[in-house]
A = this chain, B = another copy of it.
Amino acid sequence: MAQDHRGVFVPALTPFHRDLSVDAERFVEHCRWLLAEGANGLAVFGTTSEANSLSIVERMTLLERLIERGIPPEVLMPGTGCCALPDTVTLTRHAVERDCFGVLMLPPFYYKGVSDDGLYANIAEVVQRVADARLRIYLYHIPPMAGVGFSLPLIERLLKDYPRVVVGIKDSSGDWKNTQALLEAFPGFEVFPGSETHLLDALRKGGAGCISATANVNVAAIGRVIRDWNKPEADALQQAISDVRAAIQKFPMVSASKAILAQLREVPEWDLVRPPLRSLDADSKSRLFESLGALQFDLERRLATV
């Protein structure tokens, strides 16, 4: 089922100016580079994109800029799930009207301990209000951040009632057993692990690819695992991307990924994050670059591709 792999989708980092306003031009450049490096799609406005630190208007403006500047909407899967139903509807409708491939939908994440019934009602309201046959929803399951997630019974109910709308999931539970359970329970449902650590395992069980923070700096190597998943070298390729991931995830992922781009592109502004996130301190950066150096991480050469 290699032909079914969607590939590697990148939750593109959002660059800022010194005053913490969004640097839209640098964002366009970054997205272009990711596609040139082999990204199959861009899951813009994910956790790694600091989407929840952006206003609704900033997100819509930025999406429009990407499309105006030639990023094809067919590769775009913007995050649109917000705490407030009207915001989720606004962002989802906006993405659909601009012909984005799909949307990545966080559950409403403020209230904790909510019922599956309440989460179902939320998604159902979004589908009914957007009321557009082009809508394709990828559920965004990330309980460590959201504190709320999509259980298997909830997904089953959504697939039964909205089979052509709810088409996949990003599983950022960090729990391989959950990914496995999803792959086994829902054949044909597009399951993207939220990390490349179990990418090969997922591909062998029919996974769709992955959507991973570290793809911002290692997309070519991750893409190669997906392309060559059934070749003899697949395990070695997997090991290499797992090692890079392990080195980066010793640090807060957003800040670490931005630190890498700041250093290698020689653009200090890449290092900027919006609070409550913080840039890595100098010591953490040294340790990060040391670990990556030991892995002969070849990003510097790759950055020259754009």
Interface residues, chain A, CB within 8 Å of chain B? 20, 47, 52-56, 58, 83-87, 90, 107-112, 114-115, 117-119, 121-122, 125, 144-148, 274-278
Residues of B within 8 A of A84 (CB): 52-55, 58, 274
Known contacts A52-B84, A83-B53; decide if A111 and B278 are in contact (CB<8 Å).
no
Asked whether A275 lies within 8 Å of B54 as measured between CB atoms, the reply is no
**Is B112 a contact of A110 with CB atoms below 8 Å?**
no
Inter-subunit contact B108/A110 (CB<8 Å): no
Specify the chain B residue showing the minimal Cβ separation from A255.
Answer: B118
Q: Are B55 and A86 in contact (CB under 8 A)?
A: yes
Residues from chain B with Cβ under 8 Å of A277 in the complex? 111, 114, 118
Tell me how far the C-beta of A164 lies from the nearest C-beta in chain B, rounded to whole angstroms.
22
Indicate the member of A84, A90, A115, A118 with the most B CB atoms within 10 Å.
A84
Chain B neighbourhood of A147, CB < 8 A:
112, 147
Contacts of A275 in B (CB 8 A): 85, 108, 118-119, 121-122, 125
The residue that A145 contacts in the complex, of B90, B112, B145, with Cβ under 8 A, is B112
Q: Considering residues A53, A108, A121, which has the most beta carbons from chain B within 10 angstroms of its beta carbon? A: A53
Residues of B within 8 A of A146 (CB): 110
| Interface CB pairs A-B, < 8 A, 6 | A55-B86, A85-B275, A114-B277, A117-B278, A118-B275, A121-B278
A47 to B83, CA, bound (A): 12
A278: chain B residues at CB < 8 Å are 114-115, 117-118, 121
Across the A-B interface, give the 10 residue pairs with the lowest CB-CB distance, nearest first.
A118-B276, A121-B275, A52-B110, A122-B275, A114-B276, A52-B83, A55-B86, A118-B278, A108-B276, A122-B276
Give the residue name and chain of the B residue nearest to A117 (CB): B278
Q: How far is the CA of A272 from the CA of B122 in the complex (A)?
A: 14
Q: What residues of chain B lie closer than 8 Å to A52, measured between beta carbons?
A: 83-84, 108, 110-111
Q: How far is the CA of A108 from the CA of B147 in the complex (A)?
A: 14
Q: Which of B87, B119, B145, B274 contacts A276 (CB 8 A)?
A: B119
